[in-house]
Chain A
Amino acid sequence: MAQPQTSDTETSLIEQAQNGDRNAFGELVRRHYQGVVLVVYRMCGDTGLAEDATQEAFIRAWVNLPSYQPKGCLRNWLYRIAVNAAMDVLRRKPEEALEDEEVLMMPDQAAGPETVLIEKERATLLRQAIKSLPEAARSVLVLREYGGLSYQEIASVLDVPVGTVMSRLNYARNRLREILKGYLVNTESEHA
């Protein structure tokens, strides 16, 4: 599958940013912020950590931009930096992430409706399930499900063969299927 090409405008912005133009880099950040923060959030499972990691990722991108070759896709290059930054932040502050999870798991008194609580519980379980995956499998799953990358692009971002991407994705989905078994049965009966 062909990789998405960087547009001419973006190539021009990259060149300006490589020469030290902060406004051009700001425009690039504006274009890719939502995608990067979402991928990082799914890797971390915590809003605060995700924002820290996103900021760190864009700072790393700024520092490394002079060596970036505009031949590839900037989004994929940013995703690679973002995944690494998310891992680094998680390794530095694992206890903070756990605390945040506990807060998320507490029932919200003001929420009221039962469905909101069920949804919240499901969201928490989902985040925990994703976080319980090994880093390598989690990054493949997140890049596929939330980054929308093809197998070839994921292989390029993570520097692994496509076959490895496929086996890691298979492992990740099967693991999630086991963890979320109860919810899957309920969802299936809702759809039936």
Chain B
Amino acid sequence: MHEKTCTLLNAYLDGELHEQRLREMETHLASCAACQNELRELRLVSDLLQADTVPVFTPTERFVSQLTLSLPRRTLGKQLPKPNSPAWWLVPVGLLGAWFFVQTVFTLTDLVSAANLTGLLGHASGWLGGGAQESIWFSTATSLFSGQEAGAQPTLSLLNNVSVFGANLLSGFLWQAVIVLLYWAWLSIWWLGRGPRPMEMRNAS
């Protein structure tokens, strides 16, 4: 017998066939002795399973009492909004907004610094912060070697600019890393809070 027919016989036995498929199966069964026999045996298996005795389990009330005592404390559910609630989905939106804000601030800062260094801002550089930024080491080196090595001044300035640029870059990177970590934390909580995992499946045949 074809596996498909046998599968449909099971569905017929379980009352899972409807309308046209049900009528087709009934017509087929009326004229097919092999399928009638198959159906009878499947019904016997099902009846045998149903007739099996059930052992005595712990009474419901006692089980409930024991279970209630052994339930763990739930803290996570009260502190955080439920996954899939509107407040919950605002978290990544907020993080994205924070990322855009940080990126904009740092880009603008770099542009203003670059414009200031090249003198494009002209007189406006005075109220923008009093000229180019200086690292601590640069201030110290300038005060120590002032007047001794006039030729070293451009080199020190260049190193200072590289240092200031590196510090800005590192600062920007750290902010982005914090935002990414917060996003991962959110994602992890969402993943863990999805409920029970789907059953691990193994092939039946």
Contact = CB atoms under 8 A, between A and B. Distances in A.
B194 A67 contact: yes
B6 interface: yes
Contacts of A150: 16
Contacts of B202: 134-136
Contact of A84 (B82, B197, B205): B197
Nearest to B192: A67
Nearest to A172: B204
Contact of B10 (A1, A38, A133, A173): A173
B186 to A, nearest CB: 15
Contact of A170 (B10, B41, B197): B10
A187 B194 contact: no
Contacts of A157: 199
Contacts, number: 162
Given A150-B16, A187-B48, A119 B82 contact: no
A18 B48 contact: no
Interface string B1-25: 0010011001100101000000000
Interface of B: 3, 6-7, 10-11, 14, 16, 40-42, 44-50, 52-55, 57-58, 60-61, 63-64, 66-68, 70-72, 74, 76-78, 82-84, 193-205
Interface of A: 1, 18-20, 22-23, 25-26, 29-30, 33-34, 37-38, 41, 47, 50-51, 54-55, 58-60, 62-69, 77, 80-81, 83-84, 87, 119, 122-123, 126-127, 130, 133-137, 139-141, 144-146, 150-151, 157-160, 166-174, 176-177, 180, 183-184, 187-188
